[in-house]
Structure 1
Amino acid sequence: MTPPTATNPPTASTPTAPPANALTGKRRIAFASFVDENYLPGFLTLLRSLALSNPNVCEDFLVLHDGLRPESVGKIRALHPRVDFRQVNAAHYDTYAKGDQDNYLVRKAYFILDVFRVRDYDTVITLDTDMVVLDDLGELLRLREGLAAVPQFFYGQHKLNSGLLVIQREYLTDAFCAELDEVGRAGTYELDKHDQGILNAVLDGDFVQLDARFNFVKRRLSGDLPVPEGTAILHFTGRHKPWQGGESGYGEAEARWHAYHLSDAEFHAAYLATGGTKHHDLLVHYGTPHVRRTADVESARKVAAAHILAGEYQEAVDLLAPLRIPVDESWPNEVLGHALMSVSRYEEARAQLLLAASAPNRAATAYGRLAQIAWIHGDDEEASRLALQGLGVDPTHRANRLMHLRTTGLTPPAEGPASGQLAHVAFYMERQGNAGDKLLPESVRLAFGQDTGPDRWHSVHAHRLFDEAALERVNARRGLVIGGGGLFIPDTAPNGNSGWQWNVPDDLLERIDVPVVVYAVGFNAFDGQAYGHGRKRFLSSLRKLVESSAFFGLRNHGSIEKVRDLLPPELHHKVRFQPCPTTVTRQLVDGWRDPAGREDTILVNAAYDRAGLRFGHDYGHFLREMATAVTALGEQAEVKCVAHSLDDERIAFDLRREHGISLPVIPMYDFDNDAIRDVYARTKLVIGMRGHAGMIPFGCGTPIISLISHPKMAYFLSDIERPEWGISVHDRHLGARLTERATALLADHAASVADVHGRQQELWKVTEANAADLRVILAGR
């Protein structure tokens, strides 16, 4: 059978709103089971086994049902944090020809076919409720094509066992459902095989065959044979189910099922005791009630650390703070100190971190956080001293080394008269930091004039506490510029004063009496990233910032839409478009000259911060596809890795280790701003995953292709009306498409450069119009 590809108009079961992953192309994956009251015990055990065998896997779980009691729904919700209950249209299957119309079990056997009516996922994995999961399912989660299943034990390779199906989007269509209905109503299938018979009749052997270990049927173990090592899913086919008393001759198999038939307390403790990485949602869902039940400090430490990694700082405080943590328990004290400083409870954080610093195994990290608190409060001398203490414990500790360098032997540049200056709140990146963030402050200042130095500008680091002294200094200037960069994000330099990157309390923000200009700021939250309990704090701060601003410009229309959604309607008009100044570099840099010739190179950038949010289960696919593209493009130009940060070098290491491909690395994190612009201006093409690995070369007049793993990449390409310059990192044919689009841009390079220049000119018109307004705003100061 040819896989269905037809696109059909929306039906009642088809969502009309675009999916959450529409911009990034990130695959949405779900598990699914049909559940009724009779099979509920099996399903609950299935959920426990899935979590304990795959502690780092937490995809949505679709619970198909024809009616469940409220207490049953509650039991299911207690075992999985991302369940989605969907009632099947039972009457629809009454039209099917069946071997025994009056057997209620036979009738319900068809209801799992409703999974093919799901339209909001890219991959759906069905599991029968008489299964237990015994091993890693990563191979199934990485499947991207076809309809996959294990062949039936008794029927060779032609027919599948429908207990486990891995279904890709091309089968989740009205066209495929119509084929199922046609066969079901005509009865042209093995009637005693129910849903499985219909699928085999429609597919006629055309399915991706999986190893038997993914659907290992009980019948293989007759005579009390042991379950083979490596079995991933054990399937209790037949009439006799383990929760109903089981069947003689299968003692070894049923013992494996009963190992997961646990009380909630036993299950929560078992999950906390599993080794390896745990998924945030599962750890919080099971760990929180466990901590409340037991007050176990070590479990609380694990759950609080998961909260912190997800940017849920207040949740971490709420969990750990009520517990009595022994003074000699250094790690929980350090985690609590980290959480407290992240919500700006600095004095309490100091106390916890000093306790943690007494233990050698946590001292370096604790001193690093204490140094950061001192630096946030403007005490460079104390920050340097604490960082040096941390280095005394661990000379390799990078955070302490960078803090010590940041705060030692630096003489602030002499500033001009305050009355002639603009204050500038920004993230000032130092030394081996992100190259894009390093370039941004100067680029913003260029939009206000060629003098970007201390005569014209007073620097205010966004991550330092904006206190009374800082307020006084700002109010002595003729205006305050905030930007650029993606400052609206919860987990970069977290604080409880604003909930975004600028550490400013509301009352001080309200007392700024010079014109406030928010310039080319971006809303930088990833898909799937939330503000948690800090959302209320962020919304309050955002509203006050907009109210206080004389100019509020965001760097793309996607950010404008996101921010307007967070504001009351009466403030929407204040939010306007101001492109990132890096995108108009050629217009801003005095005396800019386009290169007379370009190097025969293609620069590739990949980002690895928040890798789970960027790649999901698809990193291996991304790397294989990039290997294909790099190999093909290497025949047209020399391909190099351009690293905006140290972590960006990973693609060069991984391509060499996994695919034998060597890429020279350009350590752009070590470059000054002129060198960054020079490298990007002289290359032929930049293929980048970071926002500024697209915007900076574009601003220098260089063609780009964006590897989209974050919505902001798509936002920018939409603004310049070139969405075809972006390809999702999840694209099934990423390698071929990237090669094709890069080849097209290189084939007539002059035309490609001219296109970039034309697109840039449109952004420059907006920037010039805004500049005229800003001259008026700042003229009175």
Structure 2
Amino acid sequence: MTATHIPAAPAPAEPATDARALTGKRRIAFASFVDENYLPGFLVLLRSLALSNPDVCEDFIVLHDDLKPSSVARIRALHPRVVFRRVDADHYETYAKGDQDNYLVRKAYFILDVFRIRDYDTVITLDTDMVVLDSIAELLSLREGLAAVPQFFYGQHKLNSGLLVIQKEYLTDEFCRKIDQVGRSGSYELDKHDQGILNAVLDGDFVRLDARYNFVKRRLSGDLAVPEDTAILHFTGRHKPWQGGEAGYDKAQERWREFDIDDAELHAAFLTKGAPHRDLLVHYGTPYVERTGDVDTARRVALAHIGTGDYQAAVDIMESVHIPVDEAWPHEVYGHALLSVSRYAEARAQLLLATAAPNRAATAFSRLAQIAWVHGDDETAQKYALQGLTVDPTHRASRIWHQRAVGVPAQQQGSAADQLAHVAFYMDRQGNAGDKLLPESVRLAFDQDTGPRRWHPVHAHRLFDEAALERVNARRGMVIGGGGLFIPDTMPNGNSAWQWNVPDDLLKRIEVPIAVYAVGFNAFDGQSYRATRFRESLRLLVEKSAFFGLRNHGSIEKVRAMLPARLHDKVRFQPCPTTVTRQLVDGWTDPSRREDTILVNAAYDRAALRFGHDYGHFLAQMAQAVRDLGDLAEVRCVAHSLDDERIAFDLRREHGISLPVIPMYDFDNDEIRDLYARTRLVIGMRGHAGMIPFGCGTPIISLISHPKMAYFLRDIERPEWGVSVHERNLAAVLVERARDLLADHDRTVADVHGRQQELWKVTQANAAELRTLLGG
């Protein structure tokens, strides 16, 4: 492919609170103009796209001037993310045309409405007389220009407009004005319609794609076979396959007829594909299960629902089929779904059935251990976890539940009346380093004594039952804080639909003052709370709380939007205590000297939500950045969790770059703070790979793949300390900003201290109020 000059991108129009505007994640869409005459071709196009690219599911914009309701329904049945947009037909009446009275000629211009789209970053247009035969992943990864295949017979100067990959630089009013000017003046090849206009406007300035992405039928004259590497076959000309086709192209038309199937055939064919996109699997698998009662498909659809956090839908589809006693995997998935909506007794029964099969037993035993642990039965949890490890000694989940059930040795407790109950996610050994540090940091904001004399721990993921309620009400107050607890999928439950597993009736009966402290709303861009249960639990929590502080203003905006107006003022700002670590740790001294290092952190949980189609781009850019950053300091990988080490593995495998790895997940809290205080710069993707070093007085650059990173930088008024993982020129931007921060390191550190001081003022003001509310 050949890249050419492209116009400058317009300023983003999205509001600051829009997740995509904060993360920079590309929104990609397909688009076609469809009318009743070309509907048969479009339906085949949709089927071919799904069957040839089962892992791809982006919005599909259907431009139309008039479609019957029955046609709309047929289109919706084939794609879960269809967006219908009516074209402005009158707009094109003023264009000069070769045959003004021919309706086909008139409608040929309607696809130009695609350039009026403003809510996507990349739009891929497909003519309705196309059929997709192979992967189009390369098209989805394109980042620059307007790309197309050059016309057959006409050399490289002119494009064929049947397929266009359009970046946002061209989705502008300015480019639309150029199209209108050429169209109205008639200064283009009139018999080429929309294609003629685009070629006149671009004058050869487009990115050339290989012919396999728009392989025109004329190349196969004489009934030649379609080449095996053809990705998109285009039936140009007057004779369309759904109208009988054209003599001399039988082999090509046979490829089209492969996808001229009914919906039931499509569903069955799709379900044979490996690694399908979750949305497509649900869309095609659900009617297939309704029609056939197939248990294995129900299992796959349920897993897809679980993967998107729609746990009740997973329960519903498993309840709709009869699962044979000896079908272990469906029982295990059904048990997982039931567990996630807190139907524990039913989940236990399903999981016990699943333990009969060796290939599912370890997972089933680990979930049984989880249920026991959630209910406070450590002895039973240990038993099940050990059974899981007996089946598979390498089973990570069973090992985690065994470690949790063993717990820590009993410590001397203080008087209940002197203690605060503390609801938090208490991280396991070798768990996420940031989450490990958080509970202690929250406690430091209240008292230098962070141990059992002053604090009664309440693990957020354990069921808050009558015994827990009694213990809490015996304390002088309750603090809820220690992470992004407002997230639906880390440890799902049906009682609250967020991380604290608390039923409403027990929450109502808490008698001591409640302080929600520095909690974050941690939903990813593209992730949502699908049920009303979360909103109801959230509203009750805000009503019950004497203090309700969230750790960034982005979270405040998100939470207020879910609450009635009367509760908005109760939601206030309380920075994460890790961001003021220097102020909280007794006897803190800044390092007299720093190591000449730059620490890099990358996160891989929910990778599809973080990177979309851009991981290859991100990795290549990071490879270049690591090379260039090496001229400034030694670059090391700091892993908050085991999965974070992947960047070092991938950089070595794909780009031949070796990075030393620091296993921070093995560090204790003092070691975490010490390492971050002694480095010169931290480039991190996890929220606490930014907030912890900042709190230790160390300059940071955030690799933004989650809105919370941008929320924090916005709060400290340093948005330039962040760069999106989707940034086109990520390496160059990252290195330039690192060089700026390191050039006068003392000044940069002083700036960090100054920004931190503003957060400390808020924390101190809140602390005075909390002392009045909670005593102590």
Give the shorter-chain TM-score range: over 0.9
Q: Is the CA contact (8 Å cut-off) linking 2:601 and 2:689 kept in structure 1?
A: yes
Other-structure match for 1:206:
205
Other-structure match for 1:349? 347
Give the structure 2 partner of residue 297 of structure 1: 295
Aligned residue for 1:182? 181
Partner deviation per Cα, 1:33-58 (whole Å, 9 max, x = no partner): 00000000000110010011111111
Inter-partner Cα distance in structure 1 for 2:263 and 2:406: 53
For the pair 1:736 / 2:732, whether they are aligned, the reply is yes
2:119, 2:460 → 1: CA distance?
Answer: 40
Whether the 8 Å CA contact 1:4–1:176 is kept in 2: the answer is no
Corresponding letter in the other structure for 2:196: G
Which residue, out of 685, 693, 698, partners 2:681?
Answer: 685
Partner of 1:403: 401
The offset of 1:226, in angstroms, is: 1.1
Alignment-mate amino acid for residue 125 of structure 1: I
How far has the Cα of 1:406 moved from its partner? 2.6
One-letter code aligned to 1:219: R
Of 368, 371, 374, 1:370 maps to: 368
SS of equivalent to 2:61:
strand
Note the alpha carbon deviations across 1:744-773, whole angstroms, 9 max, x for none.
Answer: 000000000000000000000000000000
Q: Which residue of 1 aligns with 2:562?
A: 566
Q: What letter is aligned with 1:295?
A: G
Measure the CA separation in 2 of the matches of 1:9 and 1:607: 26
Q: Contact conserved, 2:32 with 2:125, CA < 8 A, in 1?
A: yes
Preserved CA contact (<8 Å) 1:526 1:710: yes
Equivalent-residue separation in structure 2 for 1:9 and 1:311 (angstroms): 30
| Greater than 2 Å deviation, 4+ residue runs | 1-10, 15-20, 405-412
1:127 offset after TM fit, Å?
0.1
How far off its partner does 1:293 sit?
A: 1.0
Residues 8 and 174, structure 1, Cα contact 8 Å, conserved in 2: no
Q: Report the 3-state secondary structure (helix = DSSP H, G, I; strand = E; otherwise coil) of the residue aligned with 1:517.
A: strand
Contact 2:535 2:562 in 1 (8 A): yes
Q: Deviation per CA, 1:376-417, whole angstroms, max 9, x where unpaired?
A: 011111111111101111111011112222323742222111
> Which residue, out of 741, 747, 753, partners 1:751?
747
2:405 and 2:28 map into 1 onto residues whose CA distance is: 47
Letter in 1 for 2:50: A
Match of 2:286 in 1: 288
Write out aligned runs for 1:231-630 (5 A): 231-275=230-274, 277-408=275-406, 410-532=408-530, 535-630=531-626
1:696 aligns to 2:692 (yes or no) = yes
Q: Kindly provide the amino acid, as one letter, of the partner of residue 157 in structure 2.
A: H
Aligned mates of 1:104, 1:411 — CA distance in 2: 81
Report whether the alignment pairs 1:640 with 2:640.
Answer: no
Matched residue, 1:168:
167
Helix, strand or coil at the partner of 1:707: strand
2:7 corresponds to: 4
Q: Is the 8 A contact 1:486 1:522 kept in 2?
A: yes
Q: 2:712 matched to 1:724?
A: no
1:516 Cα deviation from its structure 2 partner: 0.5
Aligned partner of residue 162 in structure 1, secondary structure: strand
SS of match in other structure, 2:21: coil
Q: Does the 8 A contact of 2:578 with 2:692 survive in 1?
A: yes
The residue identity in structure 1 corresponding to 2:242 is W
Q: Distance in 2 between matches of 1:604 and 1:594?
A: 21
Unaligned runs of 5+ in 2: none
The aligned residue for residue 77 of structure 2 is 78
| Matched residue type, 1:282 | L
Shift in alpha-carbon separation, 1:682–1:331, aligned structure 2, 3 A: same
**Deviations, residues 599-625 of structure 1 (Å, cap 9, x unaligned):** 000000000000000000000111111
- Does structure 2 conserve the Cα–Cα contact (< 8 Å) formed by 1:4 and 1:175? no
Q: 2:645 is aligned with what amino acid?
A: E
Using the size of structure 1 for normalisation, the TM-score is: 0.98
SS at match of 1:612: helix
What do the CA deviations read for 1:459-501 (whole angstroms, capped 9, x no partner)? 0100000000000000000000000210000001000000000
Greater Cα shift, 125-134 or 78-87:
78-87
> How far is the alpha carbon of 1:222 from its aligned partner?
1.7
Gap change, CA 1:8 and 1:720, over 3 Å in 2:
closer
Partner deviation per Cα, 1:142-171 (whole Å, 9 max, x = no partner): 000011000111111111110000001111
Distance, in Å, in 1 between the alignment partners of 2:85 and 2:703 is: 35
Q: TM-score normalised to the size of structure 2? A: 0.98
Q: Distance in 2 between matches of 1:752 and 1:6?
A: 31
For residue 86 of structure 1, give the secondary structure of its aligned residue in structure 2. Answer: strand
The answer on 1:117 being equivalent to 2:116 is yes
Contact 2:340 2:492 survives alignment (8 Å): yes
Question: What is the one-letter code of the residue matched to 1:3?
Answer: I
Q: 1:287-308: CA deviations, max 9, x gaps?
A: 1111111111011000000001
With over 3 angstroms needed to count, the CA separation of the structure-2 counterparts of 1:9 and 1:676, relative to structure 1, is: closer
Partner of 2:67: 68
**What CA distance in whole angstroms lies between the structure 1 residues aligned with 2:577 and 2:48?**
52
Assess, with a 3 A threshold, how the Cα gap between structure 1 residues 8 and 400 changes in structure 2: closer, same or farther: closer
The answer to whether the aligner puts 1:765 opposite 2:737 as a matched pair is no
| In 1, Cα distance between equivalents of 2:534 and 2:90 | 48
Q: What amino acid sits opposite 1:723 in the alignment?
A: P
Q: Which moved more, 1:711-720 or 1:93-102?
A: 93-102
State the distance in 2 between where 1:502 and 1:558 align. Answer: 21
Q: Deviations over 1:533-561 (max 9, x none)?
A: xx211111101100110000000000000
What is the distance in 2 between the residues matched to 1:713 and 1:2? Answer: 33
After the TM superposition, which residues 114-153 of structure 1 pair with which residues of structure 2 at under 5 Å, given as runs?
A: 114-153=113-152
The equivalent residue for 2:27 is 28
Structure 1 gap ranges (5+): none
The residue type paired with residue 233 of structure 1 is: I
- SS of the residue corresponding to residue 596 of structure 1 reads coil
| C-alpha deviation, 1:186, in angstroms | 1.2
Aligned AA for 1:777? L
Question: How many residues end up aligned between the 2 structures?
Answer: 773
Task: Determine helix, strand or coil for the equivalent of 2:572.
Answer: strand
Instruction: Indicate if the aligned counterparts of 1:527 and 1:711 stay in contact, CA closer than 8 A.
Output: yes
Moved more, 69-78 or 670-679: 69-78
Q: CA deviation at 1:517?
A: 0.6
Q: Which residue number corresponds to residue 222 of structure 2?
A: 223
Task: Give distance in 1, aligned partners of 2:388 and 2:379.
Answer: 14
Q: Does the CA-based 8 Å contact 1:8-1:173 persist in structure 2?
A: no
- Aligned-partner Cα distance in 2 for 1:9–1:745: 26
CA distance in 2, matches of 1:337, 1:739: 48
Identity %: 79
SS at match of 1:716: helix
Instruction: Find the aligned partners of 1:136 and 1:331 in 2 and give their Cα distance.
Output: 31
Contact 2:6 2:144 in 1 (8 A): no
2:49 is matched with 50
Shift of the alpha carbon at 1:20? 4.6
Quote how far apart the aligned CAs of 1:738 are: 0.4
Check conservation: 2:5, 2:145, Cα contact below 8 A. Answer: no
- For 1:585 and 1:754, how far apart are their aligned partners in 2? 15
Tell me by how many angstroms 1:7 deviates: 4.2
CA shift at 1:4, angstroms? 3.0
Measure how far apart 1:449 and its partner are. 0.9
Distance 1:359 1:675, change over 3 A: same
Letter in 1 for 2:383: R
**Alignment RMSD:** 1.3
Q: Relative to structure 1, is the Cα distance of residues 404 and 659 closer, same or farther in structure 2, using a 3 angstrom cutoff?
A: same
Structure 2 vs 1, CA of residues 18 and 678 (structure 1 numbering), >3 Å: closer, same or farther?
closer
Q: Deviations over 1:550-573 (max 9, x none)?
A: 000000000000000000011111
Cross-structure match for 2:193: 194
